[in-house]
Amino acid sequence: MAEVCADNAVGLTLVPVTGEASDVERVAEAAVDGFVVWTSADDDPVVDAVASSGLPSVIHSGPHGRRLAVVGIDDRAAARAIGLEAFAGAQRPAVLSFPLDRNRRRRLLAGPDPARATFPVTRHRLQGFQDAWRDLGGSWAGLRVAACPGNSAAHGAAFAADMLAGGDPPDAIAAMSDELALGALRAAAHARLVVPDALAVTGWDDSDAAARAGLTTVAQSLHDQGVRCARIALGLEQRTSMDDQAPWQMRRRKSTRVRQGG
Protein backbone atom coordinates (compact mmCIF):
# COMPACT_ATOMS: atom_id res chain seq x y z
CA MET A 1 0.00 0.00 0.00
CA ALA A 2 2.84 2.38 0.82
CA GLU A 3 4.39 1.75 -2.59
CA VAL A 4 1.16 2.62 -4.40
CA CYS A 5 0.72 5.78 -2.34
CA ALA A 6 4.29 6.86 -2.94
CA ASP A 7 4.02 6.21 -6.69
CA ASN A 8 0.93 8.41 -6.83
CA ALA A 9 2.14 11.18 -4.49
CA VAL A 10 -0.54 10.33 -1.94
CA GLY A 11 0.05 10.35 1.80
CA LEU A 12 -0.55 7.22 3.88
CA THR A 13 -2.03 7.59 7.36
CA LEU A 14 -2.17 4.72 9.85
CA VAL A 15 -5.30 4.91 12.00
CA PRO A 16 -4.66 2.83 15.14
CA VAL A 17 -7.32 0.39 16.31
CA THR A 18 -7.24 -0.51 19.99
CA GLY A 19 -10.49 -2.39 20.52
CA GLU A 20 -11.85 0.47 22.63
CA ALA A 21 -14.94 2.60 21.99
CA SER A 22 -12.68 5.47 20.94
CA ASP A 23 -11.82 3.59 17.72
CA VAL A 24 -15.07 4.63 16.04
CA GLU A 25 -14.53 8.31 16.85
CA ARG A 26 -10.95 8.10 15.62
CA VAL A 27 -12.11 6.69 12.29
CA ALA A 28 -14.91 9.23 11.95
CA GLU A 29 -12.52 12.12 12.56
CA ALA A 30 -9.67 10.86 10.36
CA ALA A 31 -8.73 13.44 7.72
CA VAL A 32 -8.41 10.96 4.87
CA ASP A 33 -9.84 10.40 1.38
CA GLY A 34 -10.38 6.63 1.72
CA PHE A 35 -9.78 3.58 3.88
CA VAL A 36 -8.20 0.16 3.64
CA VAL A 37 -9.25 -2.06 6.55
CA TRP A 38 -6.82 -4.88 7.16
CA THR A 39 -8.89 -7.93 8.19
CA SER A 40 -11.39 -7.64 11.03
CA ALA A 41 -14.44 -9.28 12.61
CA ASP A 42 -18.09 -9.30 11.55
CA ASP A 43 -19.11 -7.31 14.62
CA ASP A 44 -16.31 -4.74 14.55
CA PRO A 45 -17.84 -1.24 14.85
CA VAL A 46 -14.78 0.17 13.07
CA VAL A 47 -15.93 -1.53 9.86
CA ASP A 48 -19.38 0.04 10.26
CA ALA A 49 -17.75 3.44 10.82
CA VAL A 50 -15.70 3.05 7.66
CA ALA A 51 -18.78 2.01 5.67
CA SER A 52 -20.73 4.98 7.06
CA SER A 53 -18.01 7.42 6.04
CA GLY A 54 -19.04 7.19 2.41
CA LEU A 55 -15.37 7.31 1.40
CA PRO A 56 -13.82 4.85 -1.08
CA SER A 57 -12.96 1.86 1.08
CA VAL A 58 -11.66 -1.68 0.77
CA ILE A 59 -11.46 -4.51 3.29
CA HIS A 60 -8.74 -7.12 3.18
CA SER A 61 -10.12 -10.66 3.73
CA GLY A 62 -13.43 -9.56 5.21
CA PRO A 63 -15.86 -9.10 6.70
CA HIS A 64 -18.29 -8.93 3.80
CA GLY A 65 -21.73 -7.40 3.75
CA ARG A 66 -21.15 -3.62 3.99
CA ARG A 67 -21.17 -3.10 0.22
CA LEU A 68 -17.42 -2.56 0.37
CA ALA A 69 -14.94 -4.30 -1.89
CA VAL A 70 -13.15 -7.22 -0.24
CA VAL A 71 -9.73 -8.38 -1.45
CA GLY A 72 -8.40 -11.77 -0.39
CA ILE A 73 -8.10 -15.42 -1.31
CA ASP A 74 -10.61 -18.26 -1.05
CA ASP A 75 -9.57 -19.19 2.48
CA ARG A 76 -11.91 -22.18 2.68
CA ALA A 77 -10.57 -23.79 -0.50
CA ALA A 78 -6.97 -23.12 0.51
CA ALA A 79 -7.56 -24.56 4.00
CA ARG A 80 -9.09 -27.70 2.54
CA ALA A 81 -6.05 -28.18 0.29
CA ILE A 82 -3.47 -27.64 3.02
CA GLY A 83 -5.60 -29.62 5.49
CA LEU A 84 -5.49 -32.67 3.24
CA GLU A 85 -1.69 -32.45 3.39
CA ALA A 86 -1.52 -31.82 7.12
CA PHE A 87 -3.95 -34.56 8.13
CA ALA A 88 -2.79 -37.29 5.72
CA GLY A 89 -2.17 -40.44 7.77
CA ALA A 90 -3.07 -38.68 11.03
CA GLN A 91 -5.19 -40.09 13.83
CA ARG A 92 -5.12 -37.16 16.26
CA PRO A 93 -5.01 -33.91 14.26
CA ALA A 94 -5.19 -30.41 15.68
CA VAL A 95 -5.46 -26.87 14.37
CA LEU A 96 -3.48 -23.89 15.67
CA SER A 97 -6.05 -21.20 15.05
CA PHE A 98 -6.29 -17.44 14.96
CA PRO A 99 -8.64 -15.94 17.58
CA LEU A 100 -12.28 -16.88 17.17
CA ASP A 101 -13.64 -13.46 18.13
CA ARG A 102 -12.60 -10.02 19.32
CA ASN A 103 -12.20 -11.25 22.91
CA ARG A 104 -9.09 -13.13 21.70
CA ARG A 105 -9.30 -15.73 24.45
CA ARG A 106 -6.89 -18.67 24.55
CA ARG A 107 -9.08 -21.78 24.23
CA LEU A 108 -8.75 -25.44 23.36
CA LEU A 109 -11.94 -26.76 21.79
CA ALA A 110 -13.05 -30.06 20.27
CA GLY A 111 -14.70 -29.64 16.88
CA PRO A 112 -16.12 -26.14 17.39
CA ASP A 113 -18.78 -24.86 15.02
CA PRO A 114 -16.86 -22.72 12.48
CA ALA A 115 -19.92 -20.49 12.04
CA ARG A 116 -19.42 -19.18 15.58
CA ALA A 117 -16.08 -17.58 14.67
CA THR A 118 -16.72 -13.89 14.03
CA PHE A 119 -13.41 -13.32 12.25
CA PRO A 120 -14.12 -14.34 8.63
CA VAL A 121 -10.53 -15.50 8.05
CA THR A 122 -10.72 -17.81 11.06
CA ARG A 123 -14.21 -19.03 10.12
CA HIS A 124 -13.40 -19.83 6.52
CA ARG A 125 -10.15 -21.59 7.35
CA LEU A 126 -11.89 -23.68 10.01
CA GLN A 127 -14.51 -24.62 7.42
CA GLY A 128 -11.77 -25.70 5.03
CA PHE A 129 -9.99 -27.77 7.68
CA GLN A 130 -13.34 -29.32 8.54
CA ASP A 131 -13.87 -30.21 4.87
CA ALA A 132 -10.41 -31.78 4.65
CA TRP A 133 -10.75 -33.91 7.79
CA ARG A 134 -14.19 -35.13 6.75
CA ASP A 135 -12.89 -35.90 3.25
CA LEU A 136 -10.28 -38.12 4.89
CA GLY A 137 -12.97 -39.94 6.86
CA GLY A 138 -12.44 -38.18 10.18
CA SER A 139 -14.98 -36.85 12.64
CA TRP A 140 -14.86 -33.09 13.14
CA ALA A 141 -15.97 -33.56 16.75
CA GLY A 142 -12.66 -35.30 17.44
CA LEU A 143 -10.44 -32.61 15.95
CA ARG A 144 -8.95 -30.15 18.44
CA VAL A 145 -8.80 -26.44 17.69
CA ALA A 146 -6.33 -24.40 19.74
CA ALA A 147 -7.46 -20.78 19.45
CA CYS A 148 -4.43 -18.59 20.08
CA PRO A 149 -4.81 -15.03 21.42
CA GLY A 150 -2.47 -13.68 18.76
CA ASN A 151 -0.41 -14.56 15.71
CA SER A 152 3.13 -15.22 16.89
CA ALA A 153 5.62 -18.08 17.06
CA ALA A 154 5.58 -17.73 20.85
CA HIS A 155 1.83 -18.37 21.00
CA GLY A 156 2.16 -21.30 18.61
CA ALA A 157 5.03 -22.83 20.55
CA ALA A 158 3.28 -22.50 23.92
CA PHE A 159 -0.01 -24.02 22.79
CA ALA A 160 1.65 -26.79 20.77
CA ALA A 161 3.86 -27.65 23.75
CA ASP A 162 0.81 -27.94 26.00
CA MET A 163 -0.91 -30.29 23.56
CA LEU A 164 2.19 -32.39 22.96
CA ALA A 165 2.71 -32.82 26.70
CA GLY A 166 -0.86 -34.09 27.18
CA GLY A 167 -2.06 -37.64 27.35
CA ASP A 168 -3.33 -37.65 23.76
CA PRO A 169 -0.78 -35.60 21.80
CA PRO A 170 -1.59 -34.59 18.22
CA ASP A 171 0.21 -36.27 15.35
CA ALA A 172 -0.60 -33.45 12.92
CA ILE A 173 -0.95 -29.70 13.38
CA ALA A 174 -2.39 -27.39 10.73
CA ALA A 175 -1.57 -23.80 11.66
CA MET A 176 -3.31 -20.71 10.29
CA SER A 177 -0.01 -18.89 9.81
CA ASP A 178 3.65 -19.61 9.30
CA GLU A 179 4.42 -17.92 12.62
CA LEU A 180 2.14 -20.30 14.54
CA ALA A 181 3.54 -23.24 12.57
CA LEU A 182 7.14 -22.26 13.29
CA GLY A 183 6.21 -22.20 16.96
CA ALA A 184 4.80 -25.73 16.61
CA LEU A 185 8.05 -26.87 14.99
CA ARG A 186 9.95 -25.36 17.91
CA ALA A 187 7.74 -27.27 20.38
CA ALA A 188 8.22 -30.50 18.42
CA ALA A 189 11.99 -30.09 18.51
CA HIS A 190 11.88 -29.46 22.25
CA ALA A 191 9.82 -32.64 22.69
CA ARG A 192 12.32 -34.53 20.50
CA LEU A 193 9.66 -35.44 17.96
CA VAL A 194 10.64 -36.23 14.38
CA VAL A 195 8.81 -34.11 11.80
CA PRO A 196 6.87 -35.31 9.85
CA ASP A 197 6.99 -38.94 11.06
CA ALA A 198 5.72 -38.25 14.56
CA LEU A 199 4.16 -34.85 13.86
CA ALA A 200 3.19 -33.27 10.54
CA VAL A 201 3.01 -29.46 10.52
CA THR A 202 1.68 -26.97 7.98
CA GLY A 203 1.62 -23.19 7.88
CA TRP A 204 0.16 -20.34 5.85
CA ASP A 205 1.64 -17.41 3.86
CA ASP A 206 4.93 -18.93 2.58
CA SER A 207 7.26 -16.59 4.44
CA ASP A 208 11.03 -16.70 4.00
CA ALA A 209 11.28 -18.38 7.41
CA ALA A 210 8.83 -21.07 6.29
CA ALA A 211 10.98 -21.89 3.28
CA ARG A 212 14.13 -22.13 5.43
CA ALA A 213 12.30 -24.45 7.85
CA GLY A 214 11.06 -26.73 5.07
CA LEU A 215 7.46 -25.97 6.03
CA THR A 216 4.57 -27.07 3.84
CA THR A 217 2.38 -23.99 3.54
CA VAL A 218 -0.16 -21.96 1.59
CA ALA A 219 1.50 -19.36 -0.61
CA GLN A 220 -0.23 -16.05 -1.14
CA SER A 221 1.15 -12.60 -1.87
CA LEU A 222 0.02 -10.19 0.82
CA HIS A 223 2.15 -7.61 -0.99
CA ASP A 224 0.13 -7.96 -4.19
CA GLN A 225 -3.12 -7.94 -2.22
CA GLY A 226 -2.02 -4.73 -0.51
CA VAL A 227 -1.28 -3.20 -3.89
CA ARG A 228 -4.72 -4.22 -5.14
CA CYS A 229 -6.41 -2.77 -2.03
CA ALA A 230 -4.63 0.55 -2.41
CA ARG A 231 -5.33 0.86 -6.11
CA ILE A 232 -9.05 0.18 -5.63
CA ALA A 233 -9.25 2.68 -2.75
CA LEU A 234 -7.54 5.32 -4.89
CA GLY A 235 -9.78 4.64 -7.88
CA LEU A 236 -6.86 3.45 -10.01
CA GLU A 237 -8.47 0.07 -10.71
CA GLN A 238 -12.04 -0.98 -11.15
CA ARG A 239 -13.33 -3.87 -9.10
CA THR A 240 -15.07 -6.62 -11.05
CA SER A 241 -17.22 -7.69 -8.07
CA MET A 242 -17.57 -7.04 -4.36
CA ASP A 243 -15.34 -10.08 -3.70
CA ASP A 244 -11.94 -9.67 -5.37
CA GLN A 245 -10.28 -13.11 -5.34
CA ALA A 246 -6.48 -13.25 -5.29
CA PRO A 247 -4.43 -16.30 -6.36
CA TRP A 248 -2.92 -18.83 -3.96
CA GLN A 249 -1.08 -22.13 -4.21
CA MET A 250 0.25 -24.82 -1.93
CA ARG A 251 3.97 -25.31 -1.30
CA ARG A 252 4.66 -28.90 -0.35
CA ARG A 253 7.91 -29.32 1.59
CA LYS A 254 9.37 -31.74 4.12
CA SER A 255 7.13 -31.02 7.13
CA THR A 256 4.28 -33.23 5.89
CA ARG A 257 3.88 -36.90 5.06
CA VAL A 258 3.47 -38.19 1.54
CA ARG A 259 -0.25 -38.33 0.79
CA GLN A 260 -1.54 -41.27 -1.22
CA GLY A 261 -2.74 -40.05 -4.58
CA GLY A 262 -1.42 -36.54 -3.78
What's the half-sphere exposure (Cβ side, CA atoms, 13 Å) at 180?
25
Percent of the chain with pLDDT over 70: 98
* H-type alpha helices, the chain: 2-7, 22-29, 45-53, 75-87, 120-135, 153-164, 178-190, 208-213, 222-233
Helix (H, G, I), strand (E, B) or coil at 70: strand
pTM for this prediction = 0.95
Task: Convert the pLDDT of each residue in 16-52 to its tens digit.
Answer: 888 888 999 999 999 999 999 999 999 999 999 999 9
Say whether pLDDT at 260 is over 60. Answer: yes
